[in-house]
Amino acid sequence: PEKQWSLQDFDIGKPLGRGKFGRVYLAREKSSGFMVALKVLFKSEIKQPNLARQLRREVEIQSHLRHEHILRLFGYFHDEKRVYLILEYACRGELYKILRKYGRFSERRAAKYIMQMSKALLYLHQKHVIHRDIKPENLLVGVHGELKIADFGWSVHAPNSRRKTTCGTLDYLPPEIVEGRDHDENVDLWSLGVLCYEFLVGVPPFEDLSSQQATFRRISRVDLKIPEHISPQAADLIRRLLKHNPTDRLPLDQVLKHPWIIEHTAGATVSEN
Ligand SMILES: CC[C@@H](NC(=O)c1cc2[nH]nc(NC(=O)c3ccc(N4CCN(C)CC4)cc3)c2s1)c1ccccc1
């Protein structure tokens, strides 16, 4: 039987971060000493029905997932004002802050992350779950330097035609969502290509700081310029993922066999520092 958790079961530590709704704290479960991340969301902020439905979906989906590159959701509880999600603690922090600190990643580090993301997405797609919000802000780093996909607030069961009213960056949206068309698992392949580009270049491929419309236009036209310093193999993988037609995008099992991934991750299965 599922254990009924409550706030009394935890010692709350330092705040770890914050999302659009709520904050996340380091916490220790008292009887085991197990460290977790406790995500606190205010009911007042998720009052709107679609946010409550989104949260229920996040909990429903993430609580059933078991994968080394997907952040575990161990349980949840609520009091009169707040909802609490008991999440796996990723002790090396947020990937986007590491990316901003370094500016951009080496091809070896980028390829390792893309391989890990591909394995996680393969697992998700086999369960007909599409994440729909793959971006550096939703990626965390575990104790062995491995990636963990967090924040399933936008994940859905495929196929899906629900309008995605984005609050965050638009840079990761694929043409079919930007153009309001139906979408399926292939949206995550597009985002994987955007992620690979941003890891290697330091900025997303279709970013146009002048306006959202300008970014939409560049996405819809797949207006892609790959800088000279990117290796031909990396450029090839990015081009094979950033295809306007969702079914033309390189499937995940092929991504894992791509020469760029093979060359840069040989022997990387052992835990890395
Ligand atoms: C992805 C956003 C999402 N976050 C989670 O769910 C989150 C779940 C979860 N588990 N573990 C985390 N770890 C951290 O946040 C963290 C941050 C910094 C750290 N360091 C600072 C630098 N130092 C050198 C190393 C240690 C270590 C861990 C987070 S965030 C969210 C969504 C809504 C509301 C709040 C949070």
Catalytic residue ranges: 133
The answer, yes or no, to whether ipTM is higher than 0.95 is yes
Model pLDDT for residues 119-177, shown as the tens digit of each residue: 999 999 999 888 878 899 999 999 999 999 997 766 666 666 544 444 467 899 999 99
**Ligand 1 center to 122 CA (angstroms):** 24
| 141 C-beta closer than 6 A to ligand 1 | no
**What is the model's pLDDT at position 105?**
98
φ/ψ of 22, rounded to 5, equals 90, 180
**What is the model's pLDDT at position 53?**
85
Neighbours of 224 (CB within 10 A): 16
What H or E segment, with its residue span, contains residue 37? strand 35-42
**What is the model's pLDDT at position 168?**
61
Which atom of ligand 1 has the smallest separation from the CA of 16? 15
Model pLDDT for residues 227-244, shown as the tens digit of each residue: 999 999 999 999 999 999
**What is the model's pLDDT at position 171?**
94
What H or E segment, with its residue span, contains residue 156? strand 156-157
Give 4's Cβ-side CA count (13 Å radius): 2
C-alpha closest to that of 246 among 171, 162, 173: 173
**What is the model's pLDDT at position 54?**
84
**Ligand 1 binding pocket mutation candidate from 10, 12, 16, 29 (most atoms within 8 A of CB):** 16
What mean pLDDT is reported for the chain?
91
**What is the model's pLDDT at position 140?**
96
Model pTM score: 0.92
